[in-house]
Structure 1
Amino acid sequence: MPNKSIHYAWIVAAVTFLVLLIGAGIRATPGVLILPLQQEFGWSNAQISGAIAINILLYGLVGPFAVALMERFGLRATVCAALGLLSVGVGLTIFMTAPWQLTLLWGLVVGLGSGMVAMVLGATVAERWFVQRRGLILGLLTASSATGQLVFLPLLAQLVAWQGWRAVSLTVALLALLLVPLVALLLRDRPVDLGLPPYGGDALVPAVNKHRNPVARALRALGTGFLSRDFWLLGGSFFICGASTNGLIGTHLITACGDYNIPEVRAAGLLAMMGVFDFFGTTGSGWLTDRFDSRLLLFWYYALRGLSLLYLPFAFDGSFYGLSIFAVFYGLDWIATVPPTIRLAEQSFGRENAAVMFGWIAALHQVGGAFAAWVAGTLRTQTGSYFSAFLSAGLMCFLAAILVAFIGSGRALPDAKRSRRLMPETGSLAENG
């Protein structure tokens, strides 16, 4: 029975926070395995980066289908299945002896599992369970996802140094497995299942049709996106977001530090520092999203990120101080883009469709991440330096700042109406009351 003094939405949010935290940490684990795998097997940076690129790509592409699965089978069943897949996929990596096995397990299996417990899960929970404080919840859940990628890295890097990379694989596989009973016990699909309105709402919100084909639902949403200029502006800016964060910095910063003889554990500490500041930056972004124009927020986020990336190549001066400045500044902006991006998707496509549409926008985020992970690794192999990768990413962020300025342009309401015509069976809260 739901607690009478605490709305059950907060319990759902807390469980989701933990799932996103652990799931993101698992997905980011290959960042600390690049050097150990190179040393043990002699695999090139390009080979390992290729597997990571597949992981990042699937992490995004699975998103819209994961939303449809959550609508069809419920949050609890979908998340438990994802955690089981992650546990099996990561656990089997201890038996790897060839690059194709790395691609299959860390790339394909872990990519599929982590994509089901990615940013779209946070968006789905926020849209279903909250009317008030939705921006804040989006900020908190998004922060957990990004912080999980970063905060666990120094711990995992230290574990690599003490016990080897196989101990890391077993540890994160066990973490995923231990989450399954907690999710099964506490996670619930929608407030109406407990006879509750969403937090801050005053009426029960009926569930959507659970008998829809999940694949058809996701593809229909993609068709809607193809007809919307705002979808491409949001997706294009989010492509650059992914390229400049988890694709480049999340994957390659530790290796780039190694080029300047900065120890792996110390470099992973930089990512942990980013994770701490990201938590405050992204949570603050959610609070700001409840109060200010999301386009203006995105403009500044991307412009400031571009400046920080242009600074980064000059921060490798042999001192930890210069990189620490980058870590603090960049961490505050790491993934602060998510709450305003989800808000703009909601304004364009309607609240009930926001999660699945954001799933496709987030897919482009991961395409950008995969592209940057592969290109940066290839450039490093060919030129011996990450300089051109950092410079290009900084310039791309300035382009993203320009793109977001054109989102909406007074057409958000027509876009939402068009979305309801193309996805009539989903409706929106405006229609459903």
Structure 2
Amino acid sequence: MNTSHASGHKLFYGWWVVCAALVGMIVSQGPVLVFTFGIFMKPLAAEFGWTRSQISLALTVAILSAAFFTPWVGKLVDRHGARQVALPALTLFGLGVATLAFLPSNLVIFYLWFCCIGVLSAGGTPTAYAKAISQWFVRRRGLALGLSMAGIGLGAGLMPMIAQQAVGAVGWRGGFAVIGVVVLVGMLIVAWKLRNCPADMGLHADNQAAGAGPKPELTGLTKQQALRDRNFWLIAIAFFLAALAINGCSVHFVPMLTDRGVSPADAARTAAVIGLALIAGRVAAGYLLDYLFAPFVTLFFFSGPVLGIYLLYSGATGTEAVVSAALIGLGVGAEVDLIAYLTARYFGLKAFGEIYGYLFAIFCVGTALGPLLMGTGQTVLGSYDLVLLGFVGCMILSCALMGFVGKYPDLGAAGGPVSGKRTLASPA
């Protein structure tokens, strides 16, 4: 008996994999390191006398370390499976964050510590979850990716508030310990439901009967072929520029508002709007990807941060700051699941983990350099304004690059159109 079809009245197990990935994203590198970093910035500066640029460099080191190891992690995922990589990585990442409670007053140790944490975070990036979901789903791959990556939005909304409450109650050292424990709890939930592919449970993609519907065979380009592909570099540079601008603003959003007279609590609440908008962006982008041409969807979601960052450049506070946070959050919301979907559609699943790893690594470099540029601008110039104006230009260029990405290639079952009907998702 075909278990996948016979049990069709039950919830398809692929959606439990989506739930596991969502939790994994809540406790991943972005929410835990990037979106809480602004909460710890001023307490660290007050205790150790470090400048914001010195402190921001630690986050840069962590993300660059993760970026360097992400392609290797992708290769491990292709070879051994998402579950075998994500679970030990999350455990070590949580322990690493918790031990920041013992951080001494030494910049070199501070940087080395964040370097190690960055390496540990590489296994908990979306690479593993995106590979698993791309094998569980074909017809609803965009929506499944969007829902799972919405975990980054939930984390971006929840983690800063948890960090703010913890720092207020037990200090910044206790705050790091609390965040580390949250990561470990998330790891247990991920371990409960994450499975690599339908075959592991005697099922088929999209809950289809054997031989029915499109299948996510591991066909597509090799890493070497992808790196020679024009579309790869258009996508890579566009997402690098977007990460530079959007994440640079996100990390410094709280200290930027407090510099303008907003209370720390109000600034944290406003910054939480980024996370809420990120959730909407993830789900909306994922849904649209199943029906519309992915580069057009990307261009649409990258347009919002152009205005959002310009509002920050104009000195936004109050309602304008909330609007800015929402527009920036929509851009953040589209990023990670768009990279995953674009990877599957343009390069296939044959070397998905490794190719996605390279694209995500380039994205991480932008994420790492953005906050450093913001911190350096504030330290050297006494203002974020010049960097913010440059970030507006980065987003405009990013939109332009996505306009030059070509049509979907014919990769067979892995990357071709999922139906015979011609839509904006499968342009001529």
TM-score range for the pair, normalised by the shorter chain length:
0.7 to 0.9
Whether the 8 Å contact between 2:152 and 2:278 is mirrored in structure 1 is no
Indicate whether 1:168 and 2:180 are aligned.
no
Q: Distance in 2 between matches of 1:315 and 1:191?
A: 51
Equivalent AA in structure 2 for residue 73 of structure 1? H
User: Over residues 378-420 of structure 1, what are the superposed CA-to-partner deviations in whole Å (9 max), with x where a residue is unaligned?
Assistant: 1111011101111111111100111011111x4x427x59xxx
Structure 1 residue 132: Cα displacement: 2.5
Indicate whether 1:64 and 2:62 are aligned.
no
Whether the 8 Å contact between 2:85 and 2:128 is mirrored in structure 1 is no
Q: 1:140 to 1:206 in 2, by over 3 A?
A: closer
Whether the 8 Å contact between 1:74 and 1:189 is mirrored in structure 2 is yes
Whether the 8 Å contact between 2:308 and 2:328 is mirrored in structure 1 is yes
Aligned to 1:324: 322
Q: 1:361 to 1:305 in 2, by over 3 A?
A: same
User: Which of 382, 386, 393 lines up with 2:391 in the alignment?
Assistant: 393
Q: Counterparts of 1:9-408 in structure 2 under 5 Å?
A: 9-23=14-28, 24-28=30-34, 29-97=36-104, 98-105=106-113, 107-203=114-210, 221=223, 223-246=224-247, 248-316=248-316, 319-408=317-406
User: Over residues 128-173 of structure 1, what are the superposed CA-to-partner deviations in whole Å (9 max), with x where a residue is unaligned?
Assistant: 1112211011111222124313332023113212221111111111
Structure 2 length-normalised TM: 0.87
Q: 1:342 to 1:77 in 2, by over 3 A?
A: closer
User: Over residues 82-119 of structure 1, what are the superposed CA-to-partner deviations in whole Å (9 max), with x where a residue is unaligned?
Assistant: 112112211221111111222122x2222122221122
Q: Distance in 1 between matches of 2:86 and 2:304?
A: 35
Q: Distance in 1 between matches of 2:310 and 2:47?
A: 34
Structure 1 residue 11: Cα displacement: 1.3
User: Over residues 312-341 of structure 1, what are the superposed CA-to-partner deviations in whole Å (9 max), with x where a residue is unaligned?
Assistant: 12243xx41221121223323323134344
Q: 1:362 to 1:206 in 2, by over 3 A?
A: closer
User: Over residues 187-230 of structure 1, what are the superposed CA-to-partner deviations in whole Å (9 max), with x where a residue is unaligned?
Assistant: 22211011110124443879979xxxxxxxx9x62x33331111
User: Over residues 27-53 of structure 1, what are the superposed CA-to-partner deviations in whole Å (9 max), with x where a residue is unaligned?
Assistant: 233221111000001111111111101
User: Over residues 236-258 of structure 1, what are the superposed CA-to-partner deviations in whole Å (9 max), with x where a residue is unaligned?
Assistant: 00101211222x12211111112
User: Over residues 270-299 of structure 1, what are the superposed CA-to-partner deviations in whole Å (9 max), with x where a residue is unaligned?
Assistant: 121121122112201111111111122222
Aligned to 1:420: none
Structure 2 SS opposite 1:335: helix
Q: Distance in 2 between matches of 1:60 and 1:206?
A: 27
Runs of 4+ in 1 over 6 A off after TM superposition: 204-209
Equivalent AA in structure 1 for residue 154 of structure 2? T
Q: Distance in 2 between matches of 1:306 and 1:267?
A: 21
Equivalenced residue count is 404
Equivalent AA in structure 2 for residue 103 of structure 1? Y
Q: 1:154 to 1:126 in 2, by over 3 A?
A: same
Whether the 8 Å contact between 2:62 and 2:115 is mirrored in structure 1 is yes
Whether the 8 Å contact between 2:27 and 2:182 is mirrored in structure 1 is yes
User: Over residues 49-95 of structure 1, what are the superposed CA-to-partner deviations in whole Å (9 max), with x where a residue is unaligned?
Assistant: 11101122233333322222223333222112111211221122111
Q: Distance in 2 between matches of 1:251 and 1:25?
A: 10
Q: 1:27 to 1:257 in 2, by over 3 A?
A: same
Whether the 8 Å contact between 1:353 and 1:428 is mirrored in structure 2 is no
Structure 1 length-normalised TM: 0.86
Equivalent AA in structure 1 for residue 380 of structure 2? Q
Equivalent AA in structure 2 for residue 60 of structure 1? A
Q: Distance in 2 between matches of 1:76 and 1:354?
A: 16
Range with greater deviation from structure 2 (18-27 or 189-198): 18-27
Equivalent AA in structure 1 for residue 33 of structure 2? R
Whether the 8 Å contact between 1:225 and 1:232 is mirrored in structure 2 is no
Structure 1 SS opposite 2:205: coil
Range with greater deviation from structure 2 (115-124 or 159-168): 115-124
Q: Distance in 2 between matches of 1:112 and 1:334?
A: 22
Whether the 8 Å contact between 1:225 and 1:357 is mirrored in structure 2 is yes
Structure 1 SS opposite 2:332: coil
Structure 2 SS opposite 1:362: helix
Structure 2 SS opposite 1:351: coil
Aligned-residue sequence identity (percent) comes to 25
Q: Distance in 2 between matches of 1:10 and 1:407?
A: 31
Whether the 8 Å contact between 2:94 and 2:180 is mirrored in structure 1 is yes
